[in-house]
Structure 1
Amino acid sequence: MGRPIRGTAPAHSGRGTERPGGYGQRAVGAVSTRAVLRYEMWTLEPDREPDAEPTTYAMQCAVDGETSPLSEDFVEPQNWVLRHCGQHPSHHTYREVITRPWRSWRRM
């Protein structure tokens, strides 16, 4: 392509880049486009470490969107569903919401 002008350049060049057919824009400096790629193997798994956040459970009514309190034991959300459908006999559909911690790590 072009080469930066070194030393004194003609007055009309504005110390630009010399190109075949005339002078172009100023040289900004050396630009290097270099990338280093490294492929690695990663693993994703549920976090069962002692310091991991607990797995929590909840149930959500699909009719009105009301949600049970979060619990580390699934029995409490199940009891909430039974109370909720007793108070709202037409609500028959629920969603299970599980929040489980996961961790990723690089394999060597």
Structure 2
Amino acid sequence: MGSGNGGREPRLQPVTRFGPGRRNRSPPAREEAHAMSPRTIIRSVRWTVRPDEEAGAPKAPLYHAECTTCHDTSETSEGDRIGPELWALFHVGKNPSHRSFRAISTAFWRVTPADADGVADPATS
């Protein structure tokens, strides 16, 4: 029926995938797939996430508010939400149609090896 192949059934071509974006390509060569690099992981290490208590890191979360109508922002407050909340109330008092705010809190974390024995910290080595 006008298929151009003499009335035969169309031939389906097999599609092979070898990962994202590798359609119909040969698989990577063994050397390419297992090449060592400076970033190769040789063993796994457990890590922990804790509040950052290093010098200079804020001791408490930082809070501020942003008006989603005009993008005006409050002062940043360390460890206390009252300042940004009061700012939002005063802002809506001055601008009655600005009733939507983004409350932003920022905490600082430090990630370290759980068992420091025999593990060099890449940030210091």
The answer to whether the superposition gives a TM-score over 0.5 is yes
**2:62 aligned with 1:56, yes or no?**
yes
**Which has a greater percent of strand?**
1
The residue that corresponds to 2:120 in the other structure is: none
Deviation, structure 1 residue 38: 2.0
In angstroms, what is the RMSD of aligned CA positions? 1.9
Q: How many residues are aligned here?
A: 75
Give the Cα–Cα distance (whole angstroms) in 2 for the partners of residues 103 and 50 of structure 1. Answer: 8
Corresponding residue to 2:86 among 79, 85, 93:
79
Which structure has the larger Rg over C-alpha atoms?
A: 1
Deviation, structure 1 residue 107: 1.1
**2:113 aligned with 1:100, yes or no?**
no
TM-score when normalising by structure 2: 0.53
Deviation, structure 1 residue 44: 1.3
- Displaced runs of 4 or more, over 6 A: none
Provide the identity percentage.
Answer: 35
Corresponding residue to 1:39 among 38, 41, 44:
44
Q: Which runs of 5+ in 2 are unaligned?
A: 1-34, 116-125
Q: Which runs of 5+ in 1 are unaligned?
A: 1-32
